[in-house]
Structure 1
Amino acid sequence: MNTSHPIAENSIGSPTLEQHVTGPHWELPSISNATTYWRCTSCNRESIREEDLYRPTFHTADCEVHEC
């Protein structure tokens, strides 16, 4: 995680999570309204807000991060 982005107060904040959060990723410029996003490599969920990935409810039930 980028240290300039604070972890949400209700976050999981585990080393496993740090290993699975990747980004920012940039969408192709040919996509209208292209933006950056972050992804959990365990459950493949994506969000344009990095802090979403630090909330347990964001991940799928079978995600390694969710099980922490």
Structure 2
Amino acid sequence: MSTSNPTPENSIASEQTDHRITGPHFEPPTVANATTYWRCTACSRESIREQDLHREAFHAEKCEVADRC
């Protein structure tokens, strides 16, 4: 089993990991260079690298998720 594969957005595991960071979200195939991304639901910031959302500096000022990084 590979540990590098991300947990799908709608899986139980992703819901239990962090209730404020969601993903991976998949861009529609009509988007040029479509990719997957993760989103902070508290400050609405997004990144194609999940680890970015686990850094306090990534989040907006006063983001409640940033306090848990």
Flag whether TM exceeds 0.5 (same fold): yes
**How high is the TM-score relative to the length of structure 2?**
0.70
Amino acid of the residue matched to residue 22 of structure 2? T
Q: Tell which has more relative contact order, 1 or 2 (C-alpha 8 A, sep 6+).
A: 1
Amino acid of the residue matched to residue 38 of structure 2? W
Q: Cα RMSD between the aligned structures?
A: 1.9
2: CA distance, partners of 1:23 / 1:43:
15
**2:50 aligns to what?**
50
Name the structure where helix makes up a greater proportion of residues.
2
After TM superposition, where is structure 1 displaced by more than 4 Å over at least 4 residues in a row?
Answer: none
2: CA distance, partners of 1:62 / 1:4:
31
2: CA distance, partners of 1:32 / 1:18:
30
Segments of 5+ residues of structure 2 without an aligned counterpart are: 6-16
CA shift for structure 1 position 18: 1.4
2: CA distance, partners of 1:45 / 1:20:
11
CA shift for structure 1 position 46: 0.2
2: CA distance, partners of 1:20 / 1:4:
21
